Chain A
Amino acid sequence: MDRWRRPIAIARELAPRTWPRLALFVTLAVAAQWVWLSHAGSMVDFRDAQYFTLFEEAARRTVAKYHELPLWNPYYCGGIYALGTPSARFSSPTFVLTLLFGVLRSSPLVAVLLTVAGLEGMYRYGRSRGAGALGALLAAPLFALCGFFPRSGSFEWVNFFGFELLPWAALGLRRAFAGESRGAVIAGGATGLMTCFGGTYAAPYTLLVGAWELAEAVFRFRKDRRRIVSALALGAVAALIGGGIAAVRLWPIAETLASSPRVIGANDANAPLAIAHMLFGSRIPFRGDFLVGVLVLPLVVLGAIGKKSFWPVASACFFLWLAAGYGSNPSGYAMLRTIPPYTMLRSPERFLVPFALAYASLAAVGFGKLEALARRRKKAATFIVLGAMTLACIDDGVLVDNSWAWQRGRTLMAAPTANVGHREFANARGNRWLAAYYPALERGTLSCFDDYPIPQSTALRGDLEHEEYLSDATSGTVERRAWSPNSITLHVEAKKPARVIVNQNWHPGWRASIGTVLADDGRLAVDVPEGSHDLVLRFLPRSALGGGLASLVALLAAFVLWRKPRLGHVKQLAIAAAPFYVIVITMAVVSEPKRPRPPPALTSGEPIAQAEPPEGARPIGVKLEEGIELEAARIEVHRSADGPMLDFEIDWKLDHPAPDGLGIFVHMEPDKGDAVNVDHVAVATVATFETLPVHMTLRDELPGIAVESGKTYKIWAGVWRARRGGARLHVVDKGTATVDDDRVLVATIHAP
Chain B
Amino acid sequence: MPAVKDRAAKIAVALVALVAVGRAVFATMPAPGKPLDAAGEHDAYRDIVSRERSMRREAAVKFPGDLWSADDDFHQREADAMRSFATSRTARLGDVIRAVDDGMHERWQGAGQPIATVPPCRPRLSY
| Interface of A toward B, CB cutoff 8 Å | 14, 17-20, 22-23, 26-27, 30, 33-34, 37-42, 77, 101, 105-106, 108-109, 112, 263-266, 268, 346, 412-420, 426, 428-434, 437-438, 440-441, 443, 446-465, 642-643, 646, 648, 663, 666, 668, 676, 678, 680-682, 685, 702-708, 722-723
Q: Enumerate 17 A-B pairs (CB-CB under 8 Å) in ascending A order.
A: A37-B20, A42-B29, A105-B27, A264-B125, A414-B30, A417-B94, A429-B115, A447-B72, A452-B123, A453-B120, A460-B117, A462-B116, A685-B65, A685-B122, A705-B64, A706-B64, A707-B64
| A-B contacts, CB under 8 A, total | 230
**In the bound complex, how far is the Cα of B84 from the Cα of A202, in angstroms?**
38
Residues in A neighbouring B32, C-beta threshold 8 A: 414-415, 417
Residues in B neighbouring A413, C-beta threshold 8 A: 30, 93
Q: Which of A27, A417, A449, A464 contacts B16 (CB 8 A)?
A: A27
Contact across chains for A458 and B75 when beta carbons are under 8 A apart: no
A648 with B65: in contact, given A37-B20, A437-B97 (CB under 8 Å)? yes
Residues in B neighbouring A416, C-beta threshold 8 A: 94
Contact across chains for A105 and B25 when beta carbons are under 8 A apart: yes
User: What 7 pairs across the A-B complex have the smallest Cβ distances?
Assistant: A702-B65, A433-B79, A19-B9, A456-B120, A705-B64, A40-B24, A463-B116
Contact across chains for A30 and B30 when beta carbons are under 8 A apart: no
Q: Does B89 contact A (CB under 8 A)?
A: no
Q: Does B66 contact A (CB under 8 A)?
A: yes
| Interface of B toward A, CB cutoff 8 Å | 2, 5-6, 9-10, 12-13, 16-17, 19-21, 23-25, 27-33, 35, 53, 56-57, 60-61, 64-68, 71-72, 75-76, 78-79, 82, 92-95, 97-98, 101, 104-105, 107, 114-126
**In the bound complex, how far is the Cα of B93 from the Cα of A77, in angstroms?**
21
A446 with B117: in contact, given A704-B60, A708-B61 (CB under 8 Å)? yes
Contact across chains for B126 and A268 when beta carbons are under 8 A apart: yes
- Closest Cβ neighbor of B57 among chain A residues: A642
Contact across chains for B20 and A112 when beta carbons are under 8 A apart: yes
Contact across chains for B66 and A678 when beta carbons are under 8 A apart: yes
Contact across chains for B23 and A40 when beta carbons are under 8 A apart: yes
Residues in A neighbouring B114, C-beta threshold 8 A: 429, 463
Residues in A neighbouring B104, C-beta threshold 8 A: 428-429, 462-463
Contact across chains for A428 and B101 when beta carbons are under 8 A apart: yes
Q: Which of B27, B60, B71, B94 contacts A440 (CB 8 A)?
A: B94
Residues in B neighbouring A42, C-beta threshold 8 A: 27, 29-30
**In the bound complex, how far is the Cα of B13 from the Cα of A682, in angstroms?**
54
Give, as a whole number of angstroms, the nearest-CB distance from B119 to chain A.
Answer: 7
- Closest Cβ neighbor of B11 among chain A residues: A23
Mostly helix, strand, loop or mixed at chain B's interface? Answer: helix
Give, as a whole number of angstroms, the nearest-CB distance from A388 to chain B.
Answer: 25
**In the bound complex, how far is the Cα of B91 from the Cα of A13, in angstroms?**
58
Contact across chains for B24 and A105 when beta carbons are under 8 A apart: yes
Residues in A neighbouring B64, C-beta threshold 8 A: 646, 668, 676, 678, 702, 705-707
Residues in B neighbouring A415, C-beta threshold 8 A: 29, 32
- Closest Cβ neighbor of A37 among chain B residues: B23
Contact across chains for A26 and B122 when beta carbons are under 8 A apart: no
- Closest Cβ neighbor of A598 among chain B residues: B120
**In the bound complex, how far is the Cα of B117 from the Cα of A458, in angstroms?**
7
Residues in A neighbouring B115, C-beta threshold 8 A: 429
Contact across chains for B66 and A663 when beta carbons are under 8 A apart: no
Q: Which of A434, A441, A453 gathers most chain B CB within 10 Å?
A: A434
- Closest Cβ neighbor of B125 among chain A residues: A266
Q: Which of A20, A438, A449, A648 contacts B5 (CB 8 A)?
A: A20
Contact across chains for B60 and A706 when beta carbons are under 8 A apart: yes
A456 with B6: in contact, given A39-B27, A268-B126 (CB under 8 Å)? no
Give, as a whole number of angstroms, the nearest-CB distance from B77 to chain A.
Answer: 9
A705 with B120: in contact, given A19-B9, A27-B12 (CB under 8 Å)? no
Contact across chains for B16 and A23 when beta carbons are under 8 A apart: yes
Contact across chains for A414 and B97 when beta carbons are under 8 A apart: no
Q: Which of A26, A109, A441, A462 contacts B24 (CB 8 A)?
A: A109
Give, as a whole number of angstroms, the nearest-CB distance from A364 to chain B.
Answer: 21
Give, as a whole number of angstroms, the nearest-CB distance from B101 to chain A.
Answer: 4
Give, as a whole number of angstroms, the nearest-CB distance from A117 to chain B.
Answer: 13
- Closest Cβ neighbor of B95 among chain A residues: A418
Contact across chains for B20 and A109 when beta carbons are under 8 A apart: yes
Q: Which of A41, A451, A461 contacts B29 (CB 8 A)?
A: A41
A449 with B121: in contact, given A434-B79, A648-B65 (CB under 8 Å)? yes
A454 with B29: in contact, given A19-B10, A433-B79, A441-B97 (CB under 8 Å)? no
**In the bound complex, how far is the Cα of B23 from the Cα of A38, in angstroms?**
6
Q: Which of A430, A456, A722 contacts B125 (CB 8 A)?
A: A722
